[in-house]
């Protein structure tokens, strides 16, 4: 893959990923239900903190990708690791990016009207247990983890490593907060679900 092809493929990928992960599914759920699925209240509790911090991770991803695409000095600015730059690592990274995009799309579609960004404490949502949710309790977050790891592998650098670590910490916190909410919401059926299906896989 030539340098220019890599840059613009990465830009196209992350534009598609952002639209799919945040914009398109939000639009679909709102159009079908009249409910805004983006639930990120500006509170000072753990949920509010994680929500705000995750916005910075998303912004950081946008900045890093734009630097990679448009700034020739991006490897220097982002602290690239030349020792990790190989065709094998690069190929695994792109494979992860593609799988995570497809996985995300399928999981969001299977979640249907229950899909939210954040914790919706005001409305009852159905407990989704079919499809990808039969093998992972958090397939959407799993796809997002794969996305950040894929970015790190296609462009090994201190900047992409920082995004991966920050995303990992925040998603590990968020899924635990969401699981507490779902246990309160669904009770024993959710506890039974947790006993059958792993948090990640």
Give per-residue pLDDT as tens, 49-95.
999 999 999 999 999 999 999 999 999 999 999 999 999 999 999 99
Mean pLDDT of 20-45: 90
Task: For residue 184, give the H/E element and its range.
Answer: helix 158-186
Residue 187: pLDDT above 90? yes
Which whole number is the average pLDDT over 25-51?
A: 90
- Sign of the CA dihedral 108, 137, 126, 182? negative
Percentage above 90 pLDDT, the chain = 88
Topology of domain 3-196 in CATH is 1.20.120
Would you state the pLDDT for residue 42? 81
Split at pLDDT 50, 70, 90, the class of 43 is confident
Could you tell me which residues come within 8 angstroms of residue 150 by beta carbon, excluding any fewer than 6 positions away?
93, 94, 95, 96, 97, 100
- pLDDT value of position 41: 79
Domains of the chain, residue spans: 3-196
pLDDT of residue 182 exceeding 90, the answer is yes
């Amino acid at each position: 893959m030539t340098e220019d092809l890599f840059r613009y493929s990465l830009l196209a990928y992350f534009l598609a990923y952002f639209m799919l992960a945040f914009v398109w599914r939000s639009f679909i759920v709102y159009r079908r239900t009249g409910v805004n699925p983006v639930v990120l209240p500006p509170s000072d509790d753990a949920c509010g903190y994680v929500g705000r911090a995750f916005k910075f991770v998303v912004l950081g991803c946008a900045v890093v990708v734009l630097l990679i695409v448009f700034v020739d000095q991006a490897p220097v600015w982002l602290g690239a690791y030349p020792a990790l730059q190989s065709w094998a690592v690069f190929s695994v990274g792109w494979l992860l990016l593609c799988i995570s995009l497809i996985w995300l799309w399928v999981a969001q579609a299977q979640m249907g009207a229950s899909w939210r960004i954040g914790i919706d404490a005001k409305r009852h949502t159905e407990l989704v247990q079919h499809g990808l949710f039969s093998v992972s309790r958090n397939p959407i977050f799993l796809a997002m983890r794969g996305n950040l790891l894929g970015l790190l592998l296609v462009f090994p650098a201190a900047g992409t490593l920082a995004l991966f670590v920050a995303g990992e910490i925040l998603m590990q916190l968020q899924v635990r907060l969401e699981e507490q909410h779902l246990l309160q919401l669904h009770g024993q059926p959710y506890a039974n679900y947790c006993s059958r299906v792993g948090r990640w896989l």
